[in-house]
Amino acid sequence: MTADHPGNVAALNWLKSYVAELDPNQLAAFTGSLPDFWSPGNSFASMKSAFYFSGYWTYDAMNQFAPEVDYGVSFWPTLKGTPEERANYVIDGWMVGIPTGAKQAAAAWDFLKYAFVDNAGTWPARPSTALCPGPDGPVQ
């Protein structure tokens, strides 16, 4: 699928028409008045937003800040909503790769295995909340 695929063009035209119905200044004021998703009172946890597009890390914030909210998860929308289209989904999360011809490909694979297999689920959802290793010890 390309950027100029008729389905993509239709989706962007719909988004454009939807935004035209709203006052972007009011929308910005609404979202700006609420804390970020990782804080108590965020728009979804406080039920001021009907839906939230995110990833698997959403559960932690909801469990912490809004355990009483009864919510569910669903497939990302596709053009026709068919199982065949969903078969092409990307699994949400960090997308990383090693370029063809990389000089340190073996070391890169070792790091990816360390970071995303051996230590999967141990990294914080927000890098800003973690101490990053530096040459002289942890730094923020």
The predicted model scores a pTM of 0.50
User: What are the structure tokens assigned to 137, written together?
Assistant: 């010890």
pLDDT at position 9: 92
Distance between CA atoms of residues 23 and 68, nearest Å: 32
- pLDDT at residue 139, rounded to an integer: 45
Q: 58 or 70, which is more confident? A: 70
- What's the mean per-residue pLDDT of the chain? 77
Those residues with Cβ within 8 angstroms of residue 1's Cβ, 6 or more apart along the chain or in another chain: 7, 8
Predicted confidence band of residue 129 (pLDDT cuts 50, 70, 90):
very low
Helix (H) or strand (E) run with residue 10 in it:
helix 6-21
What is the pLDDT confidence band of residue 105, given thresholds at 50, 70 and 90? very high
Instruction: Calculate the alpha carbon distances from 71 to 30, 49, 65, 89 in Å.
Output: 22, 12, 13, 22
